[in-house]
Amino acid sequence: MQELEYEEIQGIILSGYVKKRFAAYSLLRIRSRAGAQSYLRWLEARLTTGDQRPEDVCHNVAITATGLRALGLGEETLATFPRELVEGMAGTAKRSEILGDTGASAPEQWLWGGPGNQVDVLLMVFAHRPDQLDHALQEHRRRQQDGLEEVYFRSTEMLPERREHFGFADGITQPQIKETGRHLTGIECLRAGEFILGYENEYGKVPFSPSVAEDPRANRLLHTNGQNGRRDLGRNGSYLVVRRIRMLLTEWRKLDVAARERVIGRRLDTGAPLGSRNETDPVVLSARDEEGEPLIPENAHVRLASPENNLGARMFRRGYSYDQGWRDDGVRDAGLLFMAWQGDPATGFIPVQRSLADQGDALNRYIRHEGSALFAVPAAREGRYLGQDLIEG
């Protein structure tokens, strides 16, 4: 089994930083190529990697296709990235339809990520205390001012018992990576290639990774990728889907506990799948009650999102709760910044979200998508941002 190159893997891929309750997410647009390059050179040298356990603050970054273009990465190289990344989450009307981004959740309604409101860079900062977070953000903003502008900012705080605003514990039965050697009883262990580029997946294959032609400027840093004359640009990176999901709490609170549990497919008190006792028990889709009806309803969220219902599609899912209080129209502006890491969006987030849209996820009635983007999560390679050697020489 391959050993993970922890020193090049951004720590957020391997850890949810659960001991750091406070976080901030800054979505940025590049205004000046030179200014953005300067900031990213500074940031890449400070990225938190998988072999680090900082006591105070963690820093991580991700970049969209528009961001890579703005930095100067050529179209020939961009074409080796997944089509979903190159086109963007709101790139075509067909993709919006597939993902259920229609009506009130259409990209035209989004706060960011929609037409004319692109984002290029995502900065993620995590801290134990609010003052540590504020201090780190001040330094980032000072460094950003010559090259980037903030499109959207959101701070979040981990709620007690990992519960989100609907009352359910979030992130239950998160898969584990076999190569880490850290295995909890009852939790599925998967090969690293399901989530991180450059490693074998559950099929014993190394998933497709973006690449560049042999080039003296980059050869010393990049691995060969098995193709003649190509170097692996994506190794130790990943792909990240971010979605801002507003929860329609007024409608949700009209439901009694039993109805809420049927929408999600889990017990509200224990987090266990309906028909089970413990939150880590597997979701058994075939379980039936005495009348022969499924214990987990056909349109329950956990049923439609389960790997069994999506040809084995898996991803690291993490949600970060936000609450901005009451809007002027009397609506509570609270919800979740949903994040999903995967080795290939076409076999991770996309089929799962398509299933939730096509099969009528009961949860859809109680949420709105208000922003979305797909990012490349670059390796932390000797303090150099993704493609720097090819862009700057």
Report the distance separating Cα 393 and Cα 380, nearest Å. Answer: 18
pLDDT of res. 50: 92
Residues sharing a CB contact under 8 Å with residue 366, sequence separation 6 or more, in sequence order: 166, 247, 248, 251, 252, 263
Residue 218 is predicted with a pLDDT of 59
Residues 196 and 238: beta-carbon distance below 8 Å: yes
Q: What angle do helix axes 130-144 and 33-44 make, rounded to 10 degrees?
A: 140
Cβ(380)–Cβ(47) below 8 Å: yes
For residue 180, the model assigns a pLDDT of 86
φ and ψ at 57, to 5 degrees? -130, 140
- State residue 375's pLDDT score: 97
| Dihedral (Cα; 193, 196, 197, 202), 10-degree rounding | 10
Angstrom CA distances, 115 to 75, 83, 106, 111, 370, stand at 21, 18, 10, 10, 13
Q: Is the dihedral of CA 194, 195, 197, 199 positive or negative?
A: negative
**3-state SS class at 121:** strand
pLDDT at 331 (0 to 100): 87
Note down pLDDT in tens along the chain; length 393 residues.
Answer: 789 999 999 999 998 888 898 999 999 999 999 999 999 999 998 999 999 988 899 999 999 999 999 999 999 999 999 999 999 999 889 999 999 999 999 999 999 999 989 999 999 999 999 999 999 999 999 999 999 999 999 998 887 777 899 999 877 778 889 888 777 666 788 999 999 999 999 999 988 899 887 776 655 557 666 566 788 889 999 999 999 999 999 999 999 999 999 999 999 999 999 999 988 888 899 999 889 899 999 999 999 999 989 988 889 898 888 999 998 888 899 999 999 999 999 999 999 999 999 999 999 999 999 999 999 999 987 767 777 766 775
Beta bridge partners of 10: 49
**Rounded to an integer, what distance in angstroms lies between the CA atom of residue 370 and that of residue 106?**
8
The span from the first CA to the last CA of the chain, in angstroms, equals 35
Supply φ then ψ for residue 218, to 5 degrees. -120, -15
* Distance between CA atoms of residues 270 and 272, nearest Å: 5
